[in-house]
Amino acid sequence: LGLALYACSLCAVSGATLLYHDYCVIGAGPAGLQVAYFLQQAGRDYIVFERSHAPGSFFALYPRHRKLISINKQYTGKSNSEFNLRHDWNSLLSHDRRLLFRRYSRDFFPNADTMVRYLEDFASLLELRVQYNTAIIHVTLEQNEQAWNGHYFLLTDQDRKNYKCSSLLVAAGMWVPNVVNFPGSEYVEGYETVSINPEDFAGQTVLILGRGNSAFETAENILGVTNFIHMVSRSRVRLSWATHYVGDLRAINNGLLDTYQLKSLDGLLEGDLEDLAIVKDKKGKLHITLRFYLENRNISAGIDSITLPQDELDNFATRAPYDRVIRCLGWKFDFSIYNRSLRMMPGKGNIKKYPQIKPSYESKGTRGLFVLGTASHSVDFRKSAGGFIHGFRYTTRAVHRLLENRHHGVPWPSTVHPITQLTNSIIKRVNEASGLYQMFSVLADIILLRDNATAFEYLEEYPIGVLAELEMQTGRKARNGLFVIIMEYGRNFSGADKDVFYYNRAVGEAQHAWQSNFLHPVIYYYKRLPTEREMKLRPPDWPLPRPDAIHHIVEDFLTDWTAPNAHILPLRRFLENCLSTDLRNFFAESCFLFAFTHQKLPPSCQQGYMRMQGLVGSQELRHHAVQAGLLQDYTHTDFSGDRLPDSHNGPQEQLMRDHGIPVRPLQHLVNAKDE
């Protein structure tokens, strides 16, 4: 209340010139709208600024060839809405079932216009507060001890109108084209403006700079009409099916790889674009040369005086002149609008296009400034899906939950269950959770154990990068140990140069589950919360520090981890051994026997039978259990009662035999699923 009053007095003082909101969101793209939805649901004071007149302005232009490469699966054979989000890469999260992307398009790879329409609907149907035609051109800080973060954010739009916010959520995306400067780069056309009409390229020879999806998408479009296309970039091509990273070259765009490898004139080359130079001859043809040939030479001196590589080396690869050179080098974050005091710094190395942020998505330079959406991809660049709608819709939710706890005292949502539900809770989530699946190795479900491990608290989709800060970030206590559930690919399986189709790539047996290669659930057990230091010193390639125990659920061809013996049983054994208890289920009759013969009861009897919720079981089931040697049948006992040892051993052996038979013949099916 105090805050609200304060905020109001602030409005009054500043009058019309300074508009105050608790949360300001820059950009009404997918991430901006997504966070607006969560803020709206929580009843927060927020505003979204959008420079265009409609949401999703990036998608109004890009991709140029209008085909989205995020899949839009119509059918999965399942009605589970959470599970289906695993195969819906375009929808944003909301409670509104109308806002599922498959209701907008039937295309597996939908048109970008559909995305624009979808985002418009998302903003209007949910009545999100978006202020259009407002381009924020400057952001600065105003120190104030009473502010949430010790400062307010002051935003200025193109009309010099000022806005004041306590928290700034940057969802501005990545829209500044990456440009390389080299001699002759003025002859290069940009992806943003190049013609998308194939006829404009008929009979031309084209050089494309870049090797991302935009480059291949451009090539794909003109492949059929050009003489040939060459593509140049610094690093080798990375195929998404080899790297398991959706940002790498997707199979839908890779037609040029085909024509290159089949020697149909097109080709790929590696080289640093910084070393390049282009000279134009009198006929307007573009020749490739190297920058160091041009050093100390005047480029305007004319083509004849410039050395071309083929002058020295007559088989130089790109000696043929080009009609056009197209730059498709991707995008970078717009750092220009932030005042120096915000210290919005670019990352280092291959993430220099992104602003520096912490694993909690908060800026490294400014407290209270969070980066959402594509621009937040530095956290999991080339690893997970945080740069794409199907990934950042979950990280955005996570950021919102962090904010709710930090500023409004609303702890991270959790549910409390009795320990008997532990195995079930995990199985349920690993089978349907979409956030865990899409943001593998980035978002994790956390199970916090309560006293004596009789109950537990379940937290969904927490960013594991800030695991050490869990208590502070969620408002939940982790005093009695915790389980962390994430999904992982095999550590040494994916990579640009890896053969991902080798024989026996799939593991079929639960005991070898740790060698699973495809995405599979992994459960880490810690007796206490890892510290910041342990997080830093974790083994290379490990998403988390060394746990006290670890369990892998063996990879599954159908990603269906509900098999009682291969998936659930080993998981139960793992949980039992971590907690040092017996998590088996028992029929009421067994609990009855235990109640009279044991001073302590197993959890399932304690929490079920003893609360008058015992599992009586039908006749057939009890009969099956008796046959399996797991339940004693006393109905036919004679009163001498000497049969006990025999009658117990017999079925036990029976059980082992029964198991032996079905497992073996299936082995080859399990192991080599695609052979």
Q: Looking only at residues 356 through 395 of this chain, which bind another protein when binding is defined by CB under 8 A?
A: 378, 380-383
Binding window for another protein (CB under 8 A); candidates: 131-139, 196-204, 399-407, 423-431? 423-431
The answer to whether residue 65 forms part of the interface with another protein (CB under 8 A) is no
Binding window for another protein (CB under 8 A); candidates: 196-204, 272-280, 297-305, 473-481? 272-280
Is the Cβ–Cβ distance between 35 and 400 less than 8 Å? yes
Distance CA 362, CA 170 (A): 10
Residue among 45 and 633 whose Cβ is closer to another protein: 633
Q: Which DSSP symbol is given to 155?
A: E
Residue among 74 and 577 whose Cβ is closer to another protein: 577
Q: Of residues 584, 647, 670, 673, which one binds another protein by CB under 8 A?
A: 584
Give, as ranges, the residues between 194 and 253 that touch another protein (CB under 8 A): 232, 235-236, 238
CB of 108 to another protein, least distance (A): 24
Binding window for another protein (CB under 8 A); candidates: 66-74, 124-132, 270-278, 466-474? 270-278
Give 280-286's long-range contacts (Cβ < 8 A, gap of 24+): 280/184, 280/187, 281/321, 284/323, 285/321, 285/322, 285/323, 286/184, 286/187, 286/207, 286/321, 286/322, 286/323, 286/324, 286/325
Distance CA 568, CA 578 (A): 15
Distance CA 37, CA 35 (A): 5
Single-letter amino acid, residue 317? A
The answer to whether residue 3 forms part of the interface with another protein (CB under 8 A) is no
The answer to whether residue 261 forms part of the interface with another protein (CB under 8 A) is no
**Number of residues lying near another protein (CB under 8 A):** 133
CB of 640 to another protein, least distance (A): 7
Distance CA 286, CA 305 (A): 15
CB of 167 to another protein, least distance (A): 25
Q: Of residues 158, 511, 531, 654, which one binds another protein by CB under 8 A?
A: 511
Task: Look at the block and give the residue holding tokens 């998302």.
Answer: 122
Tokens of 142: 């105003």
Q: Of residues 255, 330, 413, 418, which one binds another protein by CB under 8 A?
A: 418
Residue among 34 and 378 whose Cβ is closer to another protein: 378
The answer to whether residue 301 forms part of the interface with another protein (CB under 8 A) is no
Binding window for another protein (CB under 8 A); candidates: 104-112, 314-322, 391-399, 480-488? 314-322
Is the Cβ–Cβ distance between 30 and 393 less than 8 Å? yes
The answer to whether residue 93 forms part of the interface with another protein (CB under 8 A) is no
CB of 247 to another protein, least distance (A): 12
Distance CA 23, CA 3 (A): 13
Distance CA 3, CA 44 (A): 12
The answer to whether residue 96 forms part of the interface with another protein (CB under 8 A) is no
Distance CA 283, CA 573 (A): 76
The answer to whether residue 483 forms part of the interface with another protein (CB under 8 A) is no
Is the Cβ–Cβ distance between 71 and 408 less than 8 Å? no
Please give the angle made by the CA atoms of 518, 524 and 526, to the nearest 5 degrees.
170
Residue among 65 and 358 whose Cβ is closer to another protein: 358
The answer to whether residue 64 forms part of the interface with another protein (CB under 8 A) is no
Q: Of residues 96, 200, 582, 653, which one binds another protein by CB under 8 A?
A: 582
Q: Of residues 634, 650, 666, 667, which one binds another protein by CB under 8 A?
A: 634
Residue among 28 and 92 whose Cβ is closer to another protein: 92
Residue among 168 and 591 whose Cβ is closer to another protein: 591
The answer to whether residue 472 forms part of the interface with another protein (CB under 8 A) is no
Give, as ranges, the residues between 585 and 604 that touch another protein (CB under 8 A): 585-590, 592-593, 595-603
Q: Of residues 61, 269, 301, 410, which one binds another protein by CB under 8 A?
A: 269
CB of 312 to another protein, least distance (A): 7
Is the Cβ–Cβ distance between 70 and 89 less than 8 Å? yes
Distance CA 240, CA 385 (A): 12
Residue 17 burial by CB count (10 A; 0-12/13-18/19+): exposed, middle or buried? exposed
The answer to whether residue 265 forms part of the interface with another protein (CB under 8 A) is no
Q: Which DSSP symbol is given to 281?
A: -
Give 11-18's long-range contacts (Cβ < 8 A, gap of 24+): 14/164, 17/161, 17/162, 18/162, 18/163, 18/164
Residue among 74 and 452 whose Cβ is closer to another protein: 452
The answer to whether residue 615 forms part of the interface with another protein (CB under 8 A) is yes
How far is residue 494 from each of residues 254, 438, 442, 490, 515, measured CA to CA in Å?
A: 19, 16, 17, 7, 13
Give, as ranges, the residues between 516 and 545 that touch another protein (CB under 8 A): 533, 536-542
